[in-house]
Amino acid sequence: MNKKPSIEGLEKELSWEEAVGRYLEQTPDYFLRHPELLAALALPHPEAGRAVSLVERQVRVLRDRNEQSTHQLQELIAFARDNDQLGERVQRFALAMIDSDSLDEAAGYGARHAAPGVQPRRRSRAPHRQTARPACPRQEFVTPDDVMLDGLLTSLAARNGQPLCGAVHAADTLEALFGAQAGNIRSTAVIGLTRHALRGVLVLASRDPQRFRADMGTVYLVRLGELLMAGVARHLVVAAENDKTHGA
């Protein structure tokens, strides 16, 4: 079996172009192992047939790359469109929190429109921890020693406060939050709420198992939680100050 000459040996005896040509002749599978080089080749195309199969292969590589680039561009455009829509919905949510005249109004809007782009069948709940139950009949507000709230906050603490998406929580937790709809829930998102001395969580749920995934981005979910907590906390602070004034 003849040993293939090395590139270094060929360069000593032949010109560089001849060395390259000899190496390619002796290594017919070179471009199979390096298909990325085909896109950079400039070959004449004097005739059709097997003699120009390398050109055909080059065209195929370029076509594949063009299709891949087109697909990536379409994905970027779709992501940009989705982000633009999400941005508009988050802005509307922020304005609603600013314009809310009462704690009940802020909490009610949050429960109905907490997740931008979420279908109407999805529900949200936002229990909050505070020193006293506010003057609001809404069931989202719980006492500081609420076991379910403690469990959700513990799960978030294990992720350094980052939203927990994808996992479906215990049946009793879902039933307490979503009632009769709990059995239809296939994915959830738990978002921590923190402002001043207040603590809570916002829980979003969906019938679609892919709606909230462990690998999804959570930037808008975090912003949503911050806006909701800011709107609710503003009214809680006012209520607490009024209680002090009346108590005095």
Amino acid at 184: N
Closest to 26 measured CA to CA, from 3, 53, 44: 3
Six-digit token pair at 17?
Answer: 């172009």
Six-digit token pair at 208?
Answer: 């679609």
Q: Is 135 helix (H, G, I), strand (E, B) or coil?
A: coil
Q: Is 225 helix (H, G, I), strand (E, B) or coil?
A: helix
Number of Cα atoms under 13 Å in the Cβ half of residue 133? 10
Amino acid at 20: V
Position 200 pLDDT exceeds 60 = yes
State the first-to-last Cα distance of the chain, in angstroms, to the nearest integer.
103
Position 93 pLDDT exceeds 90 = no
Which pLDDT score is estimated for 117?
42
Residues 69, 74, 77, 81, Cα dihedral to 10°: -160
Q: Is the full-model pTM beyond 0.75?
A: no
- Rounded-to-integer distance, Cα 217 and Cα 98, Å: 26
Position 227 pLDDT exceeds 60 = yes
Across 150-170, average pLDDT: 85
Residues 236, 237, 243, 246, Cα dihedral to 10°: -140
